[in-house]
Structure 1
Amino acid sequence: MLKAKALCAVNGNVAPDIRPLISVVENPLSVVDVHSKDLHKLFNGLQNIVIESVGDDEKIPEAVGQLAIRLMKNNCIIKDLLHELRQLYIRGQKNFRLSLAEKSDMERRQIIALFQDMTGIVNNIHYYSEFQSLNGSLIVMPKAQSFLTGQYLELAVYQTIKDVLQELGEKYHVDYEIFHNVRVADKEGKLKNEFDIAFQFNGIWYIVECKSGKCFSDWGSFAELGVNYNIVPNRLLLVDSFISDSKAECIEYFCDYYVCNLSGNTLREKVMKMISNDIAA
């Protein structure tokens, strides 16, 4: 999950500012902020639900956002390498040696360029052509680790969805909002759920979950979440960087929510389809 305040959609392509989402709401009738009122509609007035935000008011630099987009767009050639780096974090190791022997010459150049631009995340990047390996070391700092182990995908998915909302908002002349990391708890502060991304278009809410790891398989949990909050299944989207097209198709059929990987324009097409279903209704 992103350790950040919610992000409101804005016009233009500049990197969004992270700012406080809402004030705490102790019951459906006690609304302090307009965004808390709108977000509370997502939960259909469930009693004693508190909607919170997590993190600080830090602004995500534009360069960091652009790096996230590049990683997402190159997912097909780097996802296994990022998985290896995840394992290093788990084992408490810093130095890495990534084999690029199975990559084409063009893919090697793209990967090397990406790692060289991951300033502040990895150190001392060097490619050894005789071994066809990319060597370096991880920077073990909280922000760097968070970015590399999942935040990059949430940032990139957020920006992609925001661009779609802006395009459709201008086309249909309707309002939209998009938020990062919506956390739902009860009055006692016990955490219930965290949503990676929640957005509304023309007054209808949608939920997006991002998975950048290799081992996610709890497909039913996302379906149950939709049931718990009475969200129409075709307004739920699971973005999984490792899932195959065939598995995504099966999950969509049996679980009745949208699933996509990061190949081509799949993410953009799924978001378009979700929203278009309601526009056409």
Structure 2
Amino acid sequence: MLKAKALCAVNGNLTPEIRPLMSVGEAPVPTADTHGNGLRDLIDGIQNIMIESVGSDEKIPEAVGQLAIKMMKNNDLVKDLLHELRQFYIRGQKDFRLSLAGKSDAEKKQIISLFQDMAGLVSNVRYFPAFQSLNGSLVVMPKAQMFLTGQYLELAVYQTIKGVLQKLSVKYKAEYEIYRNVRVADSEGKLKNEFDIAFQFNEIWYIVECKSGKCFSDWSSFAELGVTYNIVPDHLLLVDAYISDSKAECIEYFCDYYVCNLSGNTLQEKVTKMVMNDFAA
């Protein structure tokens, strides 16, 4: 996430599990997805800037990653319910009651199934047909809160992009690298920016920002980020769980970076288009 952005989610002082990577001039720490020199090229030429840390795949169990994907794929169905859960966190309420009124029987069944799969995030999930409500309790542990208030989307988008890059890498025999939760600091250790996802394909770097909440509207900040790190605008992608197709189209036109929501295969198509526009150039 970009530094100092006011989000609807409340993250408190929670920080994801991270490990040191490298600063400019140091050897990169190998990761499972590293095929080149790592993130050094992303900040090459920028004075007094270092990569402070990067998220580690090893800390995320496969089942947690699959849950993140399932939540993302059901975004249109549950995004407003997840927003309500954020509000319960904000108000300090553990027990929740979510109305499913207006949902079809099939949609209700799908929602109930998803919430039942959210073990460790919510507890004692029960559906009451007479009230058309889904009741339960939030798990008020740091990892659970972090996941529900945005990390699930970052993980799901990361895995989706990684899958696209793997296919393109095989097809075009090109190398790639991908990292999540990249923290960039100055030489004094002061945090400058956080990138949800940074990846390289065929020696070109791209940055991806994920927004799972309702209230993001600072469209200019992302474009300014690209200027700061010498990344031209069309190497940036904003993934927004709430944005409409028409609004995404307007932002792309005026701000010159890519924007997508989570409907269908929009994310895969947008990443492929962004990468292939450079590859074919």
After TM superposition, the score normalised by the length of structure 1 is 0.90
Q: Match for residue 33 of structure 1?
A: 28
The Cα offsets for residues 141-184 of structure 1, whole Å up to 9 and x where unpaired, read as: 00000000001000100010000000000001111110011111
> Residue 173 of structure 1 aligns with which residue?
173
Give 1:92 deviation, angstroms: 0.4
Question: Structure 2: 5+ residue runs without aligned partners?
Answer: 2-14, 31-35
Segments of structure 1 that go 5 or more residues without pairing to the other structure are: 6-19
1:227-238 to 2 correspondence within 5 Å?
Answer: 227-238=227-238
The 3-state SS of whatever aligns with 2:135 is: strand
Q: Tell whether the 8 Å contact from 1:31 to 1:37 is kept in structure 2 after alignment.
A: no
Give the letter for the 1:74 counterpart. Answer: N
Q: Aligned pair in 2 of structure 1 residues 24, 152: CA closer, same or farther (>3 Å)?
A: same
Q: How does 1:189-204 map to 2 (within 5 A)?
A: 189-204=189-204
Mapped partners of 2:59, 2:197: distance in 1: 17
Judged with a 3 Å threshold, the aligned counterparts in structure 2 of structure 1 residues 209 and 129 are, in CA distance, closer, same or farther, namely same
Q: Which amino acid aligns with 1:275?
A: V
Counterpart residue type for residue 91 of structure 1: R
In 2, distance between residues paired with 1:58 and 1:44?
27
**1:23-172 matched pairs, under 5 angstroms:** 23-25=22-24, 30-33=25-28, 37-53=37-53, 59-172=59-172
User: What amino acid is the match of 2:139?
Assistant: I
Say if 2:38 and 2:177, in contact at 8 Å, map to a contact too: no
Which residue matches 1:242? 242
Please give the alpha-carbon distance, in whole angstroms, between the structure 2 residues aligned to 1:68 and 1:230: 31
Paired residue type of 2:111: I
Residue 4 of structure 2: aligned partner? none
How many residue pairs get aligned? The number is 263
Instruction: In structure 1, give the amino acid aligned to 2:16.
Output: K
* Alignment partners' CA distance in 2, 1:57 and 1:165: 16
TM-score scaled by structure 2? 0.90
| Partner secondary structure for residue 98 of structure 2 | strand
Deviations 1:50-109, CA, capped at 9 Å, x for gaps? 111156785211111100000000000100000000001011001111000111111100
Measured after TM superposition, the shift of residue 39 of structure 1 is 1.5
Q: Over aligned residues, Cα RMSD in angstroms?
A: 1.7
User: Does 1:271 pair with 2:271?
Assistant: yes
- Change beyond 3 A, Cα 1:24–1:151: same
C-alpha distance in structure 2 between counterparts of 1:75 and 1:231, whole Å = 30
Q: Specify the code of the residue in structure 1 equivalent to 2:173.
A: H
